[in-house]
Amino acid sequence: MKVFISHWTAEKSLAKGLANWIDERVGMGTCFCSSRPTDLVPGHEWFHRIRAEAIGADVALFMISPDSANREWIYYEAGLVSGSGAIGG
């Protein structure tokens, strides 16, 4: 099972913690969180990697807060996941 976590950059600490928690319980490499250096290596094609991970996810978790709700990137990732057939949470 592949899990994709969509979050606002300002909330990256919480997103990384959630991703680590999922990986510890389900298995390493299960969860993709763009704020973790091991998931999104600096210098690589970040846009294509995020797109591929969103489209290839079995489950997507969207961290929506009053501050992140108006961020366009969250909606972009939600559109990718929605079009892929992954289950949003």
Residue with the two structure tokens 């298995």: 27
pLDDT of 65 strictly over 60: yes
Burial 67-83 (b: 16+ CB within 10 A, else e): ebeebeebeebbebbee
User: Rounded to 10 degrees, what is the CA torsion of 62, 66, 67, 71?
Assistant: 50
pLDDT of 88 strictly over 60: no
Question: Quick one: pLDDT at residue 21?
Answer: 95
Question: Quick one: pLDDT at residue 87?
Answer: 57
* Euclidean distance between CA atoms 31 and 19, whole angstroms: 6
- Does pTM top 0.75 for this prediction? yes
